[in-house]
Amino acid sequence: MADQTVAELRQKIAQAREVIAHLIAKAAFDGAEAHRALDYFGGDAFDRNFLPWPHHADEGLRPEELNAANDD
């Protein structure tokens, strides 16, 4: 990738993190998963398994089916 493209992608990820932080604040959703998302998008590492559900519709639970009771 060209250096400019990498720089623009890093800026886009930084913007995404700011949007997530704003939405968390507006929704008063300040749990562990919210902080996990902020930490992930604030760093450079890529985690193929970051999403808490599988990528295919026929596998596992979707976000609305997850138990958020442990979200402290």
pLDDT tens digits, 2-25:
889 999 999 999 999 999 899 888
Q: Which residue did the predictor score with more confidence, 47 or 28?
A: 47
In this prediction, residue 26 carries a pLDDT of 87
Give just the sign of the alpha carbon dihedral 32, 48, 67, 13: positive
Q: Taking residues 19-46, what's their average pLDDT?
A: 87
Q: Which residue did the predictor score with more confidence, 9 or 54?
A: 9
Query: Quick check: 32 and 72 in contact, CB under 8 A?
Result: yes
H or E stretch covering 41: helix 32-42
Q: Where are the domains of the chain?
A: 3-65
